[in-house]
Structure 1
Amino acid sequence: MTDDDVDAVAEIRVGGWRTAYRGLVPDRYLDAMDPLADAAAHRARRSSPAYPMAELVAESPLDGVIGWACLGPSRDEDLPAPAGELYALYVRPALVGTGVGRALCAGVLERARERGDARLGLWVLRENARARRFYARAGFTADGAERVDPVDGEPVVEVRYVRGL
């Protein structure tokens, strides 16, 4: 990913949230999401010298950036080191199910191995059945860990998936 990709990534991320999480998080939160604000915040994070994340994009010759994934060090102290975390993986909503997500996931796994991670964890909304099936097919397994992450004041339960590398 380059700085030139940030605007497209923001559109993909906001579109992904609005499509995948409708009915799972408050509509008012989804409707208030702003790709321009998301891009500005993303640029600010990327400009930090302490930015520990690796970002990958999937591109199409016709459509430019069509998917995005972000990984870095695990934030979970109970996951044995060395461990990484897949923070996000989004595909243009119209392209879900076309293999773009699988290609991005394969790239993430390769990058995590290059970083020296022995395992990779991720958090997914408990009620997001489609994403849970996707990660299970990619070799991730729910390990029993759960957390509540409030979204716009509403509790949203996430479950952790982990896979060895």
Structure 2
Amino acid sequence: MQLQVRRFGPDDWEPARAARLASVRDGFGEDSDFYREQAAMEPAAWRAVLAEHVRFGAFDGDRPVGTACWRTGDDGDGQLYGMWVHPDARGTGLADALVDAVVAAARELGSATLSLKVEPGNARAIAFYVRTGFVADGDPGPGLVVMTRPV
């Protein structure tokens, strides 16, 4: 594997689109409304997303194998979202590199904390996030688990 993580700018809409569609395909399937919605986005919409949000892609050569994003949350601090690593690339350290990239961007953009949401049944993801410094923020309840960490 020849893995690299890079930040996308508005002109990188094509590789950003490829990474996002790969993640949505893996998580929801090509027959899902969410996949069709993402696939139908015009280049101008991708450029706008990339101008407003910080998005990283992970690649094995030219093949997208991971992605993670940062945006300002409602409280003014940062949110990690859209985290995905292709099953073939899990356990390679790529997820750590993506989180490190998001943490560095959050720090650069003035966030004091970083939060994320994860499905309560996704024990592997929760264990990973704990290992990278996130802690559950209160009672997870029946919905998504909210986790935070200092930047």
Please indicate the TM-score interval, normalised by the length of the shorter structure: 0.7 to 0.9
Distance in structure 1 (CA, Å) of the matches to 2:37 and 2:132: 32
Deviation, 1:11, is 1.4
**Which residue in 2 is equivalent to 1:118?**
112
Matched, 1:96 2:90: yes
Identity %: 31
* Partners of 2:13 and 2:47 within 8 A in 1: no
Greater displacement, 50-59 / 123-132:
50-59
* C-alpha distance in structure 2 between counterparts of 1:4 and 1:47, whole Å: 9
Q: 2 CA distance for matches of 1:71 and 1:145?
A: 24
RMSD: 2.6
Counterpart in the other structure of 1:10:
21
Name structure 2 gaps, 5 residues minimum.
1-7
Gaps of 5+ in 1: 19-29, 149-156
Per the normalisation by structure 2, the TM-score is: 0.78
Number of residue pairs matched by the alignment: 139
Task: Return the alpha-carbon distance in structure 2 between the equivalents of residues 65 and 71 of structure 1.
Answer: 18
Aligned amino acid, residue 94 of structure 2: V
Give the match for residue 164 of structure 1.
150
Provide the TM-score with structure 1 as the length reference.
0.72
Q: Which amino acid aligns with 1:134?
A: F
Aligned partner letter, 1:135:
Y
Change (3 A) 1:98 1:50: closer
Contact 2:18 2:64 in 1 (8 A): no
Tell whether the 8 Å contact from 1:52 to 1:73 is kept in structure 2 after alignment: no
